[in-house]
Amino acid sequence: MASATEITGLNAFHGQVPTSAVRDESICARCGGLMVIDFCMDVLNSTGELDFAARRCVQCGEVIDPVIERNRRLRQESRTVRFQEKILSSNSGTQGRE
């Protein structure tokens, strides 16, 4: 007769319960596919660092490395600042009419 551990399959995971939860950085923002870590080499890098880790989507091929992340973050920050300035300027224009 099988024990409860063998029936639920916990034996194969050494007491850990399997879960379908996936961290956000493991999901591709473009297609929702699985992102895996690839180790890449940049032979044209002038800083002397040749190896770096990048995430690649196994479904659509999207590659995200530290430079891409930094550029996207800077672009998003500049968009946010411009949007806030636009809101402030439109609010200041309507306040003068009161």
pLDDT the model gives residue 92: 72
pLDDT the model gives residue 44: 78
For residue 80, which phi and psi values (nearest 5 degrees)?
A: -65, -45
CA distance 95 to 93: 6
**Cβ(58)–Cβ(33) under 8 Å?**
yes
**pLDDT tens digit string along 67-94?**
899 999 999 888 888 888 888 888 776 5
**pLDDT tens digit string along 6-53?**
444 444 445 554 444 445 568 999 999 999 999 988 877 777 777 889
Question: What single-letter DSSP state applies at residue 12?
Answer: G
Two tokens, residue 87: 């809101």
Q: Is a pLDDT exceeding 90 seen at residue 60?
A: yes
CA distance 75 to 63: 18
